Chains A and B, each alone.
Chain A
């Protein structure tokens, strides 16, 4: 039997948190940088590499500057939330675990039509791909379900199972709301009830203007170059520090890769990247991601030094 219907956006998040905590995942906090999707969190990208087992779940605020609509569009936002689960090696009952999470947020599978529809995932900027599905609930895409095959150009072994829930869309569906800004953020009966619009309408407007019209192109171009250079510099540093300790700085380097990637997205929103340049920029970010993956694989977190 499914659980009682949740009443707010945050209740859905809380239920997912507690569900995946019960299933043994480390519930992490969002990564403290601007990313385009939950996959960019090092808890996914880097942890999917190497031989060590891993299980984590977290909310990740995600930014897609080109999707900004000044808060007017019923379901398009430049800032939104993803819920991300990564388990390595992927357990044999991952589909059942996933379906359990839908029940936890009130989706009763005896009344709804849940389907796994082929959708292969690829991130050209991360040099990553996997096979899986988009999960449909009554024709609505509610999650992305992927078995990672490669990240940063490296074969994943063991393979991680990744679940990504687009939280706003999922919550709108569960709560029966047609415009994201009308969605109750906290309990509608709380002393101070807040909608998603109360929290985010103004910021959507502000960021839409900045992303599309005001972000300074020269500065962004410089930031991209700086992040790229810094990433290279960090990875070029010797493995041992002055005290003779072996410390490979894979994560600081990867932060610069994330920065370059987001800066590229901002430049894209400003409309200053032509079709041909686009490919070149994506290739540059991918090169950084690969270099970071190479470095990470030599660290202890990855399960020891690889060649």
Chain B
């Protein structure tokens, strides 16, 4: 049972690709071996900046031999067919077997495929995997033809067991596999030979390489928090950055530097972003004030001066960066917000939808419209909308686009704007994703809704809707944002009315008689919301047909009661009464529709209890009256649970009716009355939801 060790040693692999590459290497090599009949006990893959490594334990010595059978032509078939079969199998006629299949004699080729050695299979699989590796981007180098993420320098590929170590015979584009590797680029550059995975791990650690990315991350986090703690500080957690930094070093050495006093007035977001984006520093803050005052540099080597030169160099680079940031910050603070906004006149939002300034006009008008519904002061909402995007023309946001909104809040607050206006600058982009927090401050909600509804109505006006996987303007996210803003803040508004009010503003921006936000587009946009709502509610486990059944009522553009109705219906469908009631409803509707079709009439008149003959028929009349009486106030109060209860009271009477009453009575009058009664069952129930839209 030999073990396999494979190392692909190259120039620096991009940090963001390392984890996936290790996983791909493990999957492709082990699958390739298993597909060829070579089994194994355990496999583990690793990545560092310069190597991809796979260690496989307990490999079988080889693949078992297999018998292969192929059915050929019938005995007595034309000579040509037999010749072809012999050619394709490589056998002669006397080597074929003759067997009886369904009474006919048929030739069979039975060949014994011998098993292959582990070494042979490993060589074949590794060759194939290296030549076809799924790098997101790969390249050629020198005069060769092989593609790899960066130039591949050596391949270590050995099979080892207690008694011996064999190098797998393998050569790819001039690189011959061996048992040699190298340590850290600077601290231990010499080549060394290894005899097994254990030997490799020991020698690699001695050669200043930490093989496991997890171990590197843990070591960095441990040392960073220790260093910070010693200074009474804490490290700001950033998993993504930690993973990236661990992918840039083979031998992490953690150093802590202090931010110069003159930069400490910069907003913490600016310090953190600048340090992360430009230099991949982790931020370190005071635990109480949360002020960022220091940073963690992760270097790739130990030095005789304990990192003093490295830290000094990094501090100088940081100082240059932060000097720029201070320059931007001070310039921005000197610029009145109105001046920032007016610069947006010359920024195109979208070719057909005009400038960013005209978009802001539309958002401001819409935020004003929405204010009563969200409980915001309309003047503040309009003011907030006017200023919310001012920071897009600031120097800081030009440098760090990810600080949009955050800077707006600082600039608005410094300019003495109302705190609600400043908050809206930061919050109006939210929610950005399904897990992003939804703003709750009324002014922020008004601007956030207006910002998203404007982009949707605008793109609907110019027929730029998302298709398939293409959604370049993130319109699905915008619609989901509107849904979450409305539901989580319990905002009562009719989307159709909002669209109707906003459409003309988009029309004016597009200024094209051929492309206007008409009734049809408004309906289509509402349908888009219905689809997004299904996706949103699916995560709660709500069935799409339950939503359809509620939407089918028509006019369902007020999302709060709609979703309350949907949730109540979903819950009702889980009760004991539901299956029978639904069966009764379907039976009623089926009979009704069949007879209406046969007779060519609609039985839509009110049934008359005076023509009722059976007790169960009379009881159903009474039950429907009662249900109607209970439903009206329940629906008016949007108490959908009560509405469902009222419906469930119909289950017994409907069952009883079908039990002993014949709808197609001999008397035409009684029959017509009963059909009208079924219609009433449908009408009463359809006040709650269109039950025929439910699957079943």
- List chain A positions with a Cβ less than 8 A from chain B: 74-75, 89-92, 95, 109-118, 120, 130-133, 137-140, 147, 149, 156-159, 161, 173, 178, 275-276
- Of chain A, the residue at the smallest CB distance from B311 is A138
- In the bound complex, CA of A249 to CA of B94 (Å): 72
Q: Which chain A residues border B153 with CB–CB below 8 Å?
A: 92
Residues of A within 8 A of B297 (CB): 139
Whole-angstrom distance between the alpha carbons of A161 and B150 in the complex? 12
Q: List 11 A-B contacts (CB under 8 A).
A: A75-B320, A110-B303, A111-B309, A112-B310, A113-B299, A118-B15, A133-B12, A138-B317, A140-B317, A157-B140, A159-B142
Which residues on the A side are within 8 Å of B317 (C-beta)?
Answer: 138-140
Task: State how many angstroms separate the Cβ of B307 from the closest Cβ of chain A.
Answer: 8
* Cross-chain contact A92 with B351 (CB below 8 angstroms): no
Which residues from A are CB-within-8-Å of B140? 147, 149, 156-157, 159
Interface residues on chain B, number (Cβ under 8 Å):
39
Q: Do B301 and A91 have beta carbons less than 8 Å apart?
A: no
Q: What residues of B have a CB within 8 angstroms of the CB of A156 in the complex? A: 140
Nearest-CB distance from A269 to chain B (Å)? 17
Question: A138-B313, A138-B314 given as contacts; is B186 within 8 A of A117 (CB)?
Answer: no
* 8 Å CB interface, B305-356 against A: 305, 309-310, 312-314, 316-318, 320, 323, 348, 351
Contact (Cβ within 8 A) B137 A117:
no
Complex formed: what's the CA distance from A111 to B303 in Å? 5
Contact with A along B172-202 (1 / 0, CB 8 A): 0000000000000010000000000000000
Other contacts beyond A111-B309, A113-B300, A159-B140: 15, CB < 8 A: A90-B141, A90-B142, A95-B11, A112-B310, A112-B313, A115-B12, A131-B139, A132-B150, A139-B317, A140-B314, A147-B150, A157-B140, A158-B142, A275-B348, A276-B351
Given A111-B303, A112-B310, A115-B248, are A130 and B143 also a contact pair (CB < 8 Å)? Answer: no
Smallest CB separation, B696 vs chain A (Å): 54
Chain B residues whose CB sits within 8 angstroms of the CB of A109 once the complex forms: 186
In the complex, A113 Cα to B317 Cα: how many Å? 13
C-alpha spacing A139/B279, complex, angstroms: 6
B14 CB within 8 Å of chain A: yes
Check if B304 is an interface residue, CB within 8 A of chain A.
yes
Sorted nearest first, the 9 A-B pairs with minimum C-beta distance are: A138-B313, A118-B14, A116-B12, A158-B143, A139-B314, A113-B299, A89-B143, A89-B142, A131-B139
* Chain B nearest CB, measured from A20 CB (Å): 19
A207→B140 CA distance, assembly (Å): 41
Pick from A95, A139, A173 the residue with the most CB of B within 10 Å: A139
Cβ contact within 8 Å between A147 and B151? yes
Docked complex Cα distance between A117 and B137 (Å): 15
Q: Which residues of A contact B149 (CB under 8 A)?
A: 131
A142 to chain B, nearest CB (A): 10
Residues of B within 8 A of A114 (CB): 186, 300
Cα separation A246 to B74 with both chains bound (whole Å): 69
Q: Chain A nearest CB: distance from B353 CB in Å? A: 14
CB nearest to A75 among chain B residues = B320
Which residues of the partner chain A approach B305 to less than 8 Å between Cβ atoms?
111
- CB-CB < 8 A to B139: which residues of A? 130-131, 147, 149, 159
Instruction: Please tell me if the beta carbons of B309 and A74 are within 8 angstroms of each other in the complex.
Output: no
Q: Is B16 an interface residue (CB 8 A)?
A: yes
Contacting residues, chain B, for A118 (C-beta < 8 A): 12, 14-16
A110 touches B304 (CB 8 A): yes
Q: How far is the CA of A232 from the CA of B412 in the complex (A)?
A: 54
Q: What CA separation (Å) do A178 and B186 show in the bound complex?
A: 28
Contact with A along B457-500 (1 / 0, CB 8 A): 00000000000000000000000000000000000000000000
Q: How far apart sit A268 and B96, CA to CA, in the bound complex (Å)?
A: 80
Q: How many A-B residue pairs have CB under 8 A?
A: 99
| A109 CA to B317 CA, complexed, in Å | 18
Given the complex of chains A and B, what is the CA–CA distance between A113 and B187 in angstroms?
A: 11
Nearest chain A CB to B625 CB, angstrom units: 68
Chain A residues, CB < 8 A from B15: 117-118
Residues of the B chain whose Cβ atoms lie less than 8 Å from the Cβ of A120: 137
Report which of B142, B143, B313, B348 forms a contact with A139, defined as CB distance below 8 A: B313
Taken together as a complex, chains A and B put the C-alpha atoms of A64 and B420 apart, in Å, by 43
Is the Cβ of B301 less than 8 Å from the Cβ of A147?
no
A120 CA to B317 CA in the complex, in Å?
22
- How far apart are the CA atoms of A173 and B312 in the complex, in Å? 11
**Residue in B14, B140, B186, B312 with the greatest tally of chain A CB atoms within 10 Å:** B140
Q: Which residues of B sit under 8 angstroms from A178, Cβ to Cβ?
A: 316, 320
Chain A residues within an 8 Å CB radius of B351: 276
Query: In the bound complex, what is the Cα–Cα distance between A58 and B279 (angstroms)?
Result: 29
Interface centre among A113, A132, A137 (most CB of B within 10 A): A113
Task: Give the shortest distance, in Å, between A277 (CB) and chain B (any CB).
Answer: 12
CA distance A140 to B14 in the complex (A): 18
Chain A contacts for B304, CB-based, 8 A:
110-111
Residues of the A chain whose Cβ atoms lie less than 8 Å from the Cβ of B309: 111-112, 138
- A110–B331 alpha-carbon span in the complex (Å): 41
What's the least CB distance linking A53 to chain B, in Å? 9
Contact between A139 and B320, CB atoms less than 8 A apart: no
User: B323 contacts A131, CB within 8 Å?
Assistant: no
Minimal beta-carbon separation of A129 from chain B (angstroms): 10
If A113-B301, A118-B14 touch, whether A140 touches B313 (CB-CB below 8 Å) is yes
Q: State whether B142 touches A138 (Cβ < 8 A).
A: no
Q: Please, what's the 1-or-0 string for B39-64, where 1 marks a CB less than 8 Å from any CB in chain A? A: 00000000001000000000000000
Closest residue of chain A to B255 (Cβ to Cβ) is A113
Q: Give the shortest distance, in Å, between A70 (CB) and chain B (any CB).
A: 14
User: Could you tell me if B300 and A115 are in contact, using CB atoms closer than 8 angstroms?
Assistant: yes
Residues of B close to A161: CB separation below 8 A: 141
Minimum Cβ distance to chain B for residue A232 (Å): 30
Chain A neighbourhood of B16, CB < 8 A:
118
If the complex has contacts A116-B12, A147-B139, are A139 and B318 also in contact, measured as CB distance less than 8 A? Answer: yes
Rounded to whole Å, the gap between the CB of B212 and the closest CB of chain A is 20
**A307 and B315 alpha carbons, distance in the complex (Å):** 54
Taking CB atoms, residues of chain B closer than 8 Å to A74 are: 320, 323
Q: In the complex, which residues 1-44 of chain B have their Cβ closer than 8 Å to any Cβ of chain A?
A: 11-12, 14-16
Name the CB-closest residue of A to B15.
A118
Separation of A159 and B147 alpha carbons in the complex (Å): 12
- Once the chains bind, are A92 and B151 in contact (CB under 8 Å)? yes
Chain B, 271-303, CB within 8 A of any chain A CB: 279, 297, 299-301, 303
The answer on a CB contact under 8 Å between A131 and B137 is yes
A213 nearest CB across to chain B (Å): 19
Q: Is the CB–CB distance between A173 and B313 below 8 Å? A: yes
A117: B residues at CB distance < 8 A: 12, 15, 248
Q: Which of B186, B249, B312 has the most CB of A within 10 A?
A: B186
Instruction: State the CA gap A144–B304 with chains docked (Å).
Output: 28
Docked complex Cα distance between A149 and B148 (Å): 13
A260 to B694, CA, bound (A): 66
Please, how many angstroms separate the alpha-carbon atoms of A130 and B310 in the complex?
30
How far, in whole Å, are A89 and B144 apart by their CA atoms in the complex? Answer: 9
CA A109 to CA B313, docked complex, whole Å: 13
- Tell me which residues across on chain A come within 8 A of B318, comparing CB atoms: 139
Name the residue in A95, A112, A138, A161 with the highest tally of chain B Cβ atoms < 10 Å from its Cβ: A138
Known: A92-B153, A118-B15, A131-B137. A110 touches B186 (CB 8 A): yes
Q: Which residue of A lies closest to B13 (CB)?
A: A118
> Bound state CA distance, A89 and B143, in angstroms?
6
Task: Across the interface, name the chain B residue whose C-beta is closest to A91.
Answer: B142
Docked Cα-Cα span, A250 to B150, in Å, equals 32
Are B142's CB and A116's CB within 8 A?
A: no
- With the chains together, A5 CA to B150 CA distance in Å? 32
Cα A138 to Cα B300 with chains together (Å): 10
Residue among B14, B153, B304, B348 with max Cβ neighbours from chain A (10 Å) = B14
Minimal beta-carbon separation of B48 from chain A (angstroms) = 13
Chain B stretch 138-175: residues in CB contact (< 8 A) with chain A: 139-143, 149-151, 153
- CB atoms of B320 and A92 under 8 A apart: no
Q: Given A74-B323, A75-B320: A92 and B142 within 8 A (CB)?
A: yes
Chain A's nearest CB lies how many Å from the CB of B209?
15
State which of A133, A137, A147 has its C-beta within 8 Å of the C-beta of B313. Answer: A137
